[in-house]
Structure 1
Amino acid sequence: MKPGPLPRLTRSAATRLDSTPQSLPPRSMSACPCCHQPLQNTASVCPHCRAEKHYGPVKREVLLSSLCGLALVLGLTRLLFPQLFAPFSPWLILLMLAGLAVGFIFAQFRFAGDRWLHLHKD
């Protein structure tokens, strides 16, 4: 007599047959940079202090940097080329746009990277 095929077990039945307990891998924990409470490495919001993880600048930083770039370019233009302001020159519009662009690019480089911010004060 030829032996027949072995019976196939379902996945749950096969795991119940294994009596050795498997330990779960430990969670990766670190301290929150704001409140120093334990925090999972993959978390984007701290459950203790409600700080949020951000990459790159927030809107107010982009706006402030762009306006500072605009003011800097207008101030330098006023000092170096005052004749551009007497009759309004179309070059002044290009310089203003360049100042806004320089401020925007500065914000992108200055605030690049992961940061933890308290955006909502409770």
Structure 2
Amino acid sequence: MKSGPSSYFARLTRSAATRLGNTTQPLPARSLSACPCCHQPIQTTASQCAHCHAEKHYGPVRRESLICSLCGLALVLSLTRLLFPQLFAPFSLWVIPLMLAGLAAGFIFAQFRFAGDRWLHLNKG
């Protein structure tokens, strides 16, 4: 059997041989941007600022989800109380699904309201 690089590449699949046969390209220079909170330079791919310790978050944090869910619960219960007061005179079983619907509506609202990426100062101290 032949020895050498050509026999090694012959045993590999086409895509693996192509990857190994290419020369390495130099990495591009790191691009910097300003931190949205402290305006110090950070890498564009950073998820935490080394200067002010702000973190990049996608979607709502736990506190925002909880607040929006409770607001949805209160809104649905108050509207139901105004429109259908007979449901609350003796406690009705319809109140439980309405409460769950309010919690779900508030949670879904929080998911859409805070749906982007943003920088937050969570570790204050």
Same fold flag (TM > 0.5): yes
- Aligned equivalent of 2:29, options 26, 29, 32: 26
- For residue 81 of structure 1, what is the aligned residue in structure 2? 84
Q: Which amino acid aligns with 1:60?
A: R
Aligned to 2:73: 70
Q: What do residues 37-66 of structure 1 show as CA deviations (whole Å, max 9, x unaligned)?
A: 001011111000000000000000000000
Equivalent residues in 2 for 1:1-122, closer than 5 Å: 25-122=28-125
CA displacement at 1:93 relative to structure 2: 0.5
Alpha-carbon RMSD = 1.7
Spell out, residue by residue over 1:63-109, the C-alpha distance to the aligned partner (whole angstroms, 9 max, x if none).
Answer: 00000000000100110000000111111101100000000000000
Please state whether the residue corresponding to 1:120 is helix, strand or coil.
coil
- Report the counterpart of residue 16 of structure 2 in structure 1: none
CA distance in 1, matches of 2:96, 2:27: 62
TM-score where L is the length of structure 1 = 0.80
Paired amino acid for 1:58:
V
* Structure 1 unmatched runs, 5+: 1-6, 9-21
Give aligned-pair identity as a percent. 80
Offset at residue 26 of structure 1 (A): 1.6
Work out the CA distance in 2 between the residues paired with 1:54 and 1:120.
13
Letter in 1 for 2:40: Q
TM-score by length of 2: 0.78
Report deviation, 1:24: 5.6
- The amino acid across from 1:32 in the alignment is C
Shift of 1:25: 2.7
Structure possessing the higher radius of gyration over alpha carbons: 1
